[in-house]
Structure 1
Amino acid sequence: MDPRIVVGLDGSAESAAAAHWAAREALLRSVPLHLVHAEERSSPPGIPAARSDVAREWVKALLRDASDELREKHPQLDISTQSFDGRPADSLAGVTATAGMLVLGSRGLGTLTGFFLGSVGMAVIHAVERPVVLVRATEDAIPHARGLHSDRDVVVGIDISRPCDALLAFAFDEASRRACRLRALHSWMLPPLAGSGFAYSPEVNAQIAQSMNTGLDDMLKPWRDMYPAVTLDAQVPIGHASEQLLDTGSEAGLIVVGRRIRRSPIGAHVGPITHAVLHHSTAPVAVIAHE
């Protein structure tokens, strides 16, 4: 596997923030950074060729200026650039197939900037099975942010009823590299009867919570043993998982969520929890594809 980190650039403030976030991540991992731009440039009949030449020069300047700015801030970083003339989702999936990570800029609220707009942005996430991180243009991501990464928490959402090894491996590794706290959440809802006039007793609620705690602790134990230096805070809050993740992760350095790999084109590739976090989180969000 090629360990480099790939960043999609489109000239927006969000993609610039993504590049600076990715540069610090590349330094943490001691891997190269690869800046790319992908765009379909097929012009309708009658459009002068000069316009395509202008577009190509703009792309060259975009990649050159971004790499120069990052080299000035991080002279020890190995940076390369590449542009693609083709469908962005396909191009990014191809270049990221063996990479360590893909980083994109995101405006949240359902839109990804520039050529990642709307359905194309989701197509990129669906097509890439390597970790994908979406970064907003926040104070922590802009060029003058201090250090490699803040010491803010890494937050990971877990479903204890299904295997989450890829998700946990990424989250523990990130927390270890950053020397920060890892907060692991498994949210749960009260059974339907609890809201229909047949309230469960506190004892029953406590038993359910204890069962959830035990399940989460069992899932986390091998990872605690593997990463003894990571400070782990495991929680089983009551409530909608997306709301709990967004609330807990509002001041986090990174939120880690999963998506199940679907080989069939039919059905959702991103579940409702990950979908909500992607659209509403102000913190960077890592989407980890797993079986």
Structure 2
Amino acid sequence: MKRTLVVGVDGSAESRAAADWAAQEAVRRDMHVHVVHAWQWKPLAVPVVQDRGAEARRAQEILEETEAELIRRHPRLSLSAEVVPDVPVPALLRAAKDAEMLVLGSRGHGAVAGFLLGSYGQQLIASAECPVVSVRVRRGRPVSGAGEGEVVVGQQGGVEESAEVLRFAFETAAARKVPLRAVRAWSLPPVYGYSPGSLWIADQFGGLEPFEKAALEQALEPWRLRHPEVEVVAHAEQGSAGHVLLSAASDAQLLVVGRRVRESALGARVGSVAHAVLHHAACPVAVVPHH
């Protein structure tokens, strides 16, 4: 059975761009695409004439139009589709529970929106158990991230902490046959944040910059061995993680970042770095959950 990639659609330009990106990625990776349109009848509490039958037919038409377009553009694609009688967030989370990836549409330089109105997009990105890719439309046209650019991945923490993020990035670069740029951003700690132990460790590497570069290389080493076909550029730079990643990914095909899975009284969160790049990156962004 093929691995599955789930994409949410609603007939908008944003969701069409997401569906086409998902189809291209599925063909590259020999995956199955499952298209989901979430629709639930909700009578409005205002004096407006509503036709439940017409709305249900339109929901089915959106799905059929999407299927037909994807088959026309990608004849080898393995494809299924369904209308799910629920609101978008729970419907897509259930559909993507065992998926390799969830793909969503978003608008250009702004909040995750498109068919995901209000906070739906951020809820999905913050709660999904699989990587979520945000594909955008800017100035009315899809920004697909296709071409000759690199895949860029943000690396932070130690070897185990960044393993899932790097796995996704290396597999993506290998499927696309393009270089991978691994970026580690670092900042000088506040003077009161120094400790004799941390300073001793940094001193063994000749200072903080060599220490950060060594930490990046250590995290990359097992994945270089697993994917010797992927050309890797290691990039450690002092600065805000969001700014450093956005600069490095200015011509990228895809930007991959992590989202730490945390239990919180305030609910699931996207994270500040993921939030920044989702709003401002010029290419599709993949957010990979990790512990």
Same fold (TM over 0.5): yes
* Aligned residue among 168, 186, 189 for 2:187: 189
For 1:169, the equivalent position in structure 2 comes to 167
SS of 1:133's partner is strand
Give the Cα–Cα distance (whole angstroms) in 1 for the partners of residues 66 and 265 of structure 2: 36
Give the Cα–Cα distance (whole angstroms) in 2 for the partners of residues 96 and 286 of structure 1: 15
Give the Cα–Cα distance (whole angstroms) in 2 for the partners of residues 7 and 227 of structure 1: 27
For 1:71, the equivalent position in structure 2 comes to 71
Amino acid of the residue matched to residue 178 of structure 2? Answer: C
Correspondence list, 1:105-184, <5 A: 105-107=105-107, 108-114=109-115, 116-137=116-137, 142=142, 149-161=146-158, 163-184=161-182
Give a deviation string over 1:8-65, Cα, whole Å, max 9, x none: 1122211111111100001011111111111332213677885222211111111111
Aligned identity (percent) is 38
Give the Cα–Cα distance (whole angstroms) in 1 for the partners of residues 110 and 211 of structure 2: 35
Amino acid of the residue matched to residue 171 of structure 2? Answer: D
Deviation at 1:160, TM superposition (A): 2.8
Deviates more, 1:205-214 or 1:73-82: 205-214
Amino acid of the residue matched to residue 282 of structure 1? Answer: A
SS of 1:250's partner is coil
- What is the count of residue pairs matched by the alignment? 276
Give the Cα–Cα distance (whole angstroms) in 1 for the partners of residues 92 and 32 of structure 2: 17
Give a deviation string over 1:149-168, Cα, whole Å, max 9, x none: 42311100011347111101
Deviation at 1:210, TM superposition (A): 0.7
| Contact kept in structure 1, 2:105 and 2:134, CA below 8 Å | yes
* Structure 1 residues 285 and 210: CA distance shift in structure 2, 3 A: same
For 1:251, the equivalent position in structure 2 comes to 251
Alpha-carbon RMSD across the aligned residues, in angstroms, is: 2.5
Give the Cα–Cα distance (whole angstroms) in 1 for the partners of residues 3 and 10 of structure 2: 23
Give the Cα–Cα distance (whole angstroms) in 1 for the partners of residues 128 and 2 of structure 2: 15
Give the Cα–Cα distance (whole angstroms) in 1 for the partners of residues 7 and 186 of structure 2: 35
Deviates more, 1:123-132 or 1:97-106: 123-132
> Does 1:62 pair with 2:73?
no
| Contact kept in structure 2, 1:105 and 1:135, CA below 8 Å | yes
In the superposition, the TM-score normalised over structure 1's length comes to 0.87
| Contact kept in structure 2, 1:172 and 1:223, CA below 8 Å | yes
Give the Cα–Cα distance (whole angstroms) in 1 for the partners of residues 278 and 29 of structure 2: 24
Correspondence list, 1:210-225, <5 A: 210-225=210-225
SS of 1:229's partner is coil
| Contact kept in structure 2, 1:89 and 1:127, CA below 8 Å | no
| Contact kept in structure 2, 1:158 and 1:185, CA below 8 Å | yes
| Contact kept in structure 2, 1:97 and 1:128, CA below 8 Å | yes
* Structure 1 residues 277 and 184: CA distance shift in structure 2, 3 A: same
| Contact kept in structure 2, 1:183 and 1:234, CA below 8 Å | yes
Deviation at 1:138, TM superposition (A): 5.6
